[in-house]
Amino acid sequence: MFISIFSCQEKKTKNSSEISIAKEEKIEKRNEVYISVYDTISSFFTNLKLDEMQDMPNMLYLGQKEDRTSITIPTENSISITGFDLINSIFYSLKLEKGDSLLVNTRNISVNESKKAEYPIFNIPNSAKTWSEINLDYILYKKNIKTRAIVIDEEEKFGGNTLDLEKIYFNSITILDSLKSSNRISNEFYLKNKINQKLKFATSKLRKAKNQNTELDIDSLGIKINDEELLNNETYLSFLKNLILYKYFRKNKRVKYSIQFDFVNEQETFLSEAGKQILLDSYLKGIYFTEKAKFDKYLTKFNEVNDNQEFKNKWRSLVTKQKANRDKLNASNKTIGILTNLINDNQLTFEEVLSNYKGKVVLVDFWASWCAPCRKEMPHLKDLKSKFNENELKVIEISIDKDFSAWVRALKLEKISNEKDSYIIGNWEKSSLYKNYGIKTIPRYLLFGKDGKIIDENAPRPSQLELTELIKASI
């Protein structure tokens, strides 16, 4: 569960929601996205998704407390950020195009008589999107709180909030109509979001009917089945998947993706051939993430019925990349505990790496791309490095990731992909390194003296002043 945490005061800025749509001259955009927060923000957390086949989102922490107020993310594609606060029923999602510069602020919203929530406010100065398009989630949330379409529980009990889905849908259409009439959103944005809000409402009805095992008149939802123009719309795809579950698996609480795949592939359903292939592709993606042992079998099944070249290219590219990554990690596995870096693919034992830095104090950082506390320490680790010169302190970073691609993404985000002493370790749990130092949780830091002997096998974190003092005393 990821919960967005904000602690700051609102900073008054010019409200660009009144700015009408203006088409700017097209310029070549850099292969990066820049994200920064206002200097009043103590801590801002969001989930970052860089590509379609990313299992877990990257965790991004910014703010004064995190010792990082901005980040540049290299990318050749669009990326997305998402965040939610379950206690206040807040959810936001924003798609960023390469070249975008995102500035994040927050605003207080009174959610009930005793409480305020802080909602992120976004600004993309170099985007053709309007302020209202970028902050639609915020505008809708304010309306839903004001009209009590969302009622926040006073006692902050989990699941205690009340959501009136019909009123939420009505509010969304009212807001979109108002924004369109005042020229604060484009016609394309208006039409896309209007159908998406309708799809979300219809999907919520399907889920409710399935969960309660009640009859629902599908025609009353007002959604065209097998709408060729909507097949590439993710919200429409979600609707179709929920319709399959309602019509054919109503009495089943949980249905594995492999079972849904087989049913759609083998049985006659309401789906057109194009719709069938879109759903099979989506089920295959679910199998890849949640039933990995079955993936090769179902990829073969998919290839037997799929004639969509785009899908073929996507899965072929994924399998090729997956094999290359597996080969790199397997190469490391040949000798238990071998370390590999990204620069030259050297394969070294930990002892060999450590021996290169006799005469220096060495700090070893054990981390992983999926470890939130590890990632939060990265800016502090960078600051720690800057306090000492290369002849005094050497930092060795060792990732225990099992997903090579996730490790590479994290390296690039943390700007350590070009560091020769940033490694990934193969066969981690069977390595002598794991056993010798009893490393069962991360982040974990080992501190070695200039003679190569251990000083502290559970050293303080970089964010703690004690570590700096310990290193100074050891030099």
103: in domain: yes
149 and 201 belong to one structural domain: no
106 and 231 belong to one structural domain: no
200: in domain: yes
Q: Using one digit for the tens of pLDDT, what is the confidence trace for 397-438?
A: 999 998 888 898 888 888 888 888 899 987 788 788 888 888
CB-based contact 94:83 (threshold 8 Å)? no
197: in domain: yes
97 and 131 belong to one structural domain: yes
87 and 3 belong to one structural domain: yes
393: in domain: yes
Tokens for 385, please give them.
Answer: 């490095």
41 and 171 belong to one structural domain: yes
Strands lying side by side in the sheet with 79-85 = 58-62, 44-49, 79-85, 90-96
Asked which of 166, 183, 200 is the last residue of a domain, the reply is: 183
End-to-end CA separation in angstroms for the chain? 42
Domain that holds residue 363: 339-474
385: in domain: yes
Q: Which residues contact 390 (CB under 8 A, 6 or more apart)?
A: 360
Tokens for 266, please give them.
Answer: 């083998």
Give me the chain's average pLDDT, please.
88
Q: Provide the pLDDT confidence category of residue 206 given band limits of 50, 70 and 90.
A: very high
437 and 388 belong to one structural domain: yes
Asked which of 131, 152, 183 is the last residue of a domain, the reply is: 183
Asked which of 137, 155, 183 is the last residue of a domain, the reply is: 183
The CA distance from 212 to 195, in Å, is: 26
**Percent of the chain clearing pLDDT 90 (strictly above):** 64
319: in domain: no
The pTM of this model reads: 0.79
159 and 52 belong to one structural domain: yes
Q: Look up residue 6 and give its DSSP letter.
A: -
179 and 191 belong to one structural domain: no
Q: Look up residue 254 and give its DSSP letter.
A: -
101 and 234 belong to one structural domain: no
277: in domain: no
Count other Cβ atoms within 10 Å, centred on residue 335.
13
Q: Provide the pLDDT confidence category of residue 306 given band limits of 50, 70 and 90.
A: very high
Q: Look up residue 311 and give its DSSP letter.
A: H
Q: Using one digit for the tens of pLDDT, what is the confidence trace for 14-70?
A: 444 333 434 444 456 788 999 999 989 999 999 999 887 777 788 898 999 888 899
CB-based contact 84:66 (threshold 8 Å)? no
109: in domain: yes
Domain count, the chain: 3
174 and 190 belong to one structural domain: no
The CA distance from 28 to 37, in Å, is: 25
Parallel/antiparallel/unpaired status of strands 32-37 and 101-112: parallel
102 and 235 belong to one structural domain: no
pLDDT at 1: 34
CATH number of 451's domain: 3.40.30.10
Count other Cβ atoms within 10 Å, centred on residue 410.
24
175 and 215 belong to one structural domain: no
DSSP string computed for 344-405: T--EE-HHHHHHTTTTSEEEEEEE-TT-HHHHHHHHHHHHHHHTS-TTTEEEEEEE--S-HH
